[in-house]
Each structure stands twice: as structure tokens, then as C-alpha cells.
Amino acid sequence: MILPLSTASNLYWLGRYLVRVDGLFHLLPFTDDGEAQAFAHAFSLPAWNAETLNALIHDPNQSGSLPSNLDAVKQNIQAARGVLTAPTFEAFNALGRFNRLSVEDMHIMLQNCQSAFKYESEMVQLFCRMGEAVERIDIALRLIKSPAVDIKALSDILDALPIGWQRLKEPIMLLNKRYDRVAFYDLSDRVQELFRNGV
């Protein structure tokens, strides 16, 4: 399957937002003030304890919140609709319609979406997995953890993509040598450049 770059970009961002949403589902509710402060600091969120962070993460007007990330998932699903099977589209559409459910119920719906997504074409899955790997690298660096496993996963994904995407191997090798934000931003910028200008 040949994907338009705009659709591939939507799938990439879908993957990134899915990791964010899934991560929030696993962390909510925050109960420890120290953990909440560390998380807020790592992601530059204006919260100083568990109570303020929980409120912020449920605030639809906050860019890093659960509702805003779910909205981004919905927008990317809508934009990629033409390459998705009906069951996958419906599963994600249901997630977008029922955003007033409990976190636990929404997490179950997200798992249903992820199960349906496994039946999509390889190319659709690869771009989504690419976004997931990049987002996990970002999170690992913010939380001062090793991104080695996700860097390897991203490299493996690139091996399965058309040849032009191999241009990302150089920034990935640099990131693998030095786990820092500058190397990550270089990789992220190169990804966006390929989506914008083509491979």
C-alpha cells in the first residue's frame, strides 16, 4: 500500500498520541505528591502536587490533558479514515464519543481500538508504530530513563519502510550515542521534514 505523506503523518501522530493517552490511563489518578511533582516538572506542566496535577490532566483546556490528547487521537483518526478498516475506525470513533466515561472504561475502549488496529495493513501499522516509538523515546528522555529499547524498535521500523526513510538512520545513530534532548529534537525535526517535503 502506498500512503500519501499527509496520511502517513496522521498515522505517525496517532501513534504518538496513543502512547500519551495510554500512559495517562496507567498513571491516573496521581496519589503521591512527589511523583506528581516529578511528572509535572518532566513535562513542563503547571502543577505542584497530586491534586493539582489530576485536575490539570482532566482539564480540556490544557494542552497536555487527557481530553486534549483524546481529541488529537480523534482528529488523526478522521484524517486517516480513508486507509483504515471500518472496525478500526468505529472503535476509535466510539472512544471519541464516550469521553465522559470513567478512566477505567475509557482505557478498556482504548485497548479495543488497539486490538482492532492490529488488523490494519502493514504500512498503516508501521507509521503508527513509528510514532509510538518516537513518543516513548521522548518520554524516556524526559523521565531520565534509557530509551535504548525504543531506539532499537524505531530503527527496526525504518528497515521495513520504503528506502527514503533510511535518511533517519543518521539522527537515530546520534541519539543512540548520546541520550539527550538536542539529539532527540534533531530526529524529530528530520521526521517532520520528511513528512513535509517527501522522501
Residue appearing with cell numbers 520528511:
194
pLDDT at 174: 95
Per-residue tens of pLDDT for the chain, all 199 residues: 678 999 999 999 999 999 999 999 999 999 999 999 999 999 999 999 999 999 999 999 998 899 999 999 999 999 999 999 999 999 998 887 766 778 888 889 999 999 999 999 999 999 999 999 999 999 999 999 999 999 999 999 999 999 899 999 999 999 999 999 999 999 999 999 999 988 7
Q: Based on the structure, what is the number of domains in the chain?
A: 1
Is 91 a domain residue?
no
C-alpha of 81 from chain center:
18
Cα–Cα distance measured from residue 51 to residue 49, given in angstroms and rounded to the nearest whole number: 6
Is 161 a domain residue?
yes
Pair 157, 129: CB distance under 8 Å = yes
Is 163 a domain residue?
yes
Spatial neighbors of 83 by CB under 8 A, at least 6 apart, are 1, 3, 7, 11, 120, 121, 124
- Single out the residue of 131, 126, 193 nearest to residue 162, CA to CA: 126
pLDDT at 101: 75
Is 147 a domain residue?
yes
Is 181 a domain residue?
yes
Distances (CA, A) of 89 to 32, 96, 116, 190: 37, 11, 9, 29
Query: What range defines the domain where residue 127 resides?
Result: 122-197
Cα–Cα distance measured from residue 69 to residue 57, given in angstroms and rounded to the nearest whole number: 10
pLDDT at 98: 67
Spatial neighbors of 169 by CB under 8 A, at least 6 apart, are 155, 158
pLDDT at 16: 98
Is 79 a domain residue?
no
Classify residue 61 by burial, with Cβ atoms within 10 Å: 0-12, 13-18, 19+: exposed
Is 33 a domain residue?
no
